[in-house]
Structure 1
């Protein structure tokens, strides 16, 4: 099956940033504003991560109900366990986002590991996410999985209680403080009728020409819960060292995503930050599909995702991890991070950021599921075909993407206006900063 691979992934980092009083007031006021859909998002968690509003507290040993978002904590010196009760038919996915406290020192191989085991202690899956070479703080997301539709498999098929274990990958080298956790379990029913059991072996892997046109302002969210909606287009933002920005893109069955992130120059400041700019893609259950990073010398730099196949149910049978993760329609998440160490060489920023998002392929109907996914609608997109539950139409209540995107325009535009004055002042200061 090949997904998740269980291999340690290389990533980048997030740290706290001091802001000037006037700009800080603007940022805090806008951060507490309502996001599209009218839900206020909590942004006061450790490391600045935006936890889902109303997330329920859960301690080690507690039970996770699919469709409910939880907040927990992870100590350095021991694993925490959660119970997940499953039927014999559904696949289950448990995402865990770990958020270290600001100011902690981490190593490249430090990170979070998530494992799922059945009642007999057999391992269903194991997945890890690490900080990587940049060694600065950022939210890390790993996924636990219980498959239910892999041909020839026998383990982890029974109904009953499953153990979800969360631990640090290198506790002996990890900072002593607890890490905050956001947990979300999702269940996916089996198809109502058998379909292909092999991943498509041919698809258009050519990189398309980059999109042109005037960029439209959008400011990224602080977490999965308030990720800013984007459609195909060119989008303009600003990012500070240590900041992680979240965006969500609707991707229907048969559609194909291409995305690049471009960081402006640092206004004459020189230096070098390893792995400074990172772009990652996560699927609707928050599993990482692909990530790419590059160092920064202070000159403009860009990164782009590898060519990815169209979304298809049968992708789950692929051997390659990034193909297998493109197994659902729904909201996919683009996550951009600028390493905190960049501030040492180039100043506190913010720095201009351009995202180019292109959608290829042709939308088509999804599989007919034998039941309802939990949470409902997780595998549908606004105005798209989505998954069909029980052979019926799963499209009720969808909102056109243009209307959803427009809901995020006011906040993003105001924020960028505020950041503009800050950028000018910071760039003047950065031009006088030089590091070896």
Structure 2
């Protein structure tokens, strides 16, 4: 039967869709002989900064890509209002294995108004991993606030990025990713800076959960693997940097530990900089410096403990506290020095102890939706599942398609049921015509001729239509789609 065939095909399609929904996302893992470089964001706009401010390309909010050479300075133009704070981050991501010099190779980020006045502090991210090349990032901003006097007017501004480099590192270009974010104004009063001693600076012990969940670190901010409170395990290759992200709400803080196990039997030696751990806020601002710890073959841990997230932290002169000014996704950057190959030629197990401490509280009350500067229930679910942003978006799309498909299937099955019922009634009507003769044409609303019997399956013909014969009724297919199906 047509209905049975169509039903089975529809169910098979829905089953296949459900199977797709259950497939885990595949994430590339670095191998011992191939270390993946930084992955730029999907849909990022390619641009080219100018050496002359008058030729500076115009940036819009979002991700942009460029490159920068040693000794080069680049200008980018932006148009800002007099109400919204703007943050401009830059990620310099030389390929793994690129030669860099600690503290000698760095970026400088500055925001300037049209008169050349600097808006706030400069950002100067640099390398400090014993010559290891890894992504470095930070932001510069134009912040609106009663405590500021410069750069408060609407108009044309410039993001200025320059690269300083040691001669030994060479003049080759570094890939550059720029992120332009806006923070809406507050609806009410501005929260004050938290008072001295309002939170403890004593680092608590790391979590000791017995169960380790699997994490999948990414190459950068765009494909970072999600984690939440708990103990996580992953693998990391010498020379590799892995990124993770964790949602941190207003009033919460992070207690982190990234750990390496003891070296295999027989391995010995000392590395001054072996394992690095850095933390970044939702606008890719560095929360302190990325710190490397030494290694002697015994278990080692790189740790970080942040201030609680408070809007008023932006008024604190301490950089690591000032950066804890937004709720949202915070990023963890973990790097393993290439010389770790002497201990772990096939890579090492990495243990992440993540502790989001404190109770989430209401935010300061923005005048517009905050987007990236918030934590949603979906964010928490994504973190609990350990998904990347791409996997979470794909999962949401598949669920939408699935619900749509299920809804379409329900409509289809209902239509097939109605089709079957109509076809059966038509068949019974034809059978009665064959047995008792043709039905006379009767105008709608007109009385039947004496002696003419009507039945449930009989339908009056419109005026002018010919009488249907018993032979025609038998020739009509018993099952078939209604016209226009």
Give TM-score, length-normalised by structure 2.
0.68
Shift of 1:77: 3.2
Q: Specify every segment of 5 or more residues in structure 1 that has no aligned partner in the other structure, as ranges.
A: 1-28, 34-45, 384-398, 413-436
Greater strand share, 1 or 2? 1
Aligned to 1:348: 345
1:181-214 per-position Cα deviation (integer Å, ceiling 9, x unaligned): 1111111122112233323321133323321222
Equivalent position of 2:157 in the other structure: 162
Whether the 8 Å contact between 1:239 and 1:349 is mirrored in structure 2 is: no
CA 1:222/1:303 → structure 2, altered by over 3 Å: closer, same or farther?
Answer: same
1:126 matched to which residue of 2?
A: 122
Contact 2:287 2:323 in 1 (8 A): yes
What's the counterpart of residue 244 of structure 1? 241
Q: Deviations over 1:105-154 (max 9, x none)?
A: 11112121111111110111311111115111101112111111151x21
| 1:73 and 2:81 correspond | no
Unaligned runs of 5+ in 2: 1-24, 30-34, 50-55, 392-485
- Would you say 1:380 and 2:374 are equivalent positions? yes
Q: Does 1:86 align with 2:80?
A: yes
- The aligned residue for residue 380 of structure 2 is 401
Q: Distance in 2 between matches of 1:222 and 1:405?
A: 20
Worse-superposed segment, 169-178 or 292-301: 169-178
Give the structure with the larger helix fraction.
2
Aligned to 2:41: 52
Cα distance in structure 2, aligned partners of 1:400 and 1:309: 21
Kindly indicate whether residue 176 of structure 2 is the aligned counterpart of residue 181 of structure 1.
yes
Q: 1:186 to 1:255 in 2, by over 3 A?
A: same
8 A Cα contact 1:200 1:314, kept in partner = no
Instruction: Give the Cα separation in 2 of the matches to 1:184 and 1:342.
Output: 32
Deviations 1:241-274 (A, max 9, x none): 1111111110010112111111112213122222
Please report how far the alpha carbon of residue 173 of structure 1 lies from its aligned counterpart in structure 2 after TM superposition.
Answer: 4.8
Please state whether the residue corresponding to 1:129 is helix, strand or coil: coil
Give me the whole-angstrom Cα distance separating, in 2, the residues matched to 1:370 and 1:173: 50
Assess, with a 3 A threshold, how the Cα gap between structure 1 residues 321 and 235 changes in structure 2: closer, same or farther.
same
Number of aligned residues: 350
Are the equivalent residues in 1 in contact too, given 2:227–2:386 (CA < 8 A)?
A: no
2:254 equivalent in structure 1: 257
Give the structure 2 partner of residue 211 of structure 1.
Answer: 207
What is the alpha-carbon root mean square deviation over aligned residues? 2.4
Q: 1:98 to 1:259 in 2, by over 3 A?
A: same
The 1:381–1:145 alpha-carbon spacing in structure 2 relative to 1, beyond 3 Å, is same
Find runs of 4+ consecutive structure 1 residues off by over 4 angstroms: none
Which of the residues 85, 100, 108 maps onto 2:102?
108
Deviations 1:373-417 (A, max 9, x none): 4xxx1011122xxxxxxxxxxxxxxx16235542639x99xxxxx
The equivalent residue for 1:292 is 291
Larger RCO of the pair (alpha carbons < 8 Å, separation 6+)? 1
The separation in 1 between residues aligned to 2:80 and 2:106, in whole angstroms, is 27
Q: Deviation of residue 371 (structure 1)?
A: 3.0
Q: Secondary structure at 2:122's aligned position in 1?
A: strand
* Structure 1 CA distance for aligned equivalents of residues 257 and 233 of structure 2: 12
2:225 — aligned with what? Answer: 228
Q: Which whole-Å CA distance do the structure 1 matches of 2:158 and 2:385 have between them?
A: 42
Distance 1:400 1:58 in 2: 31
Larger radius of gyration: 2
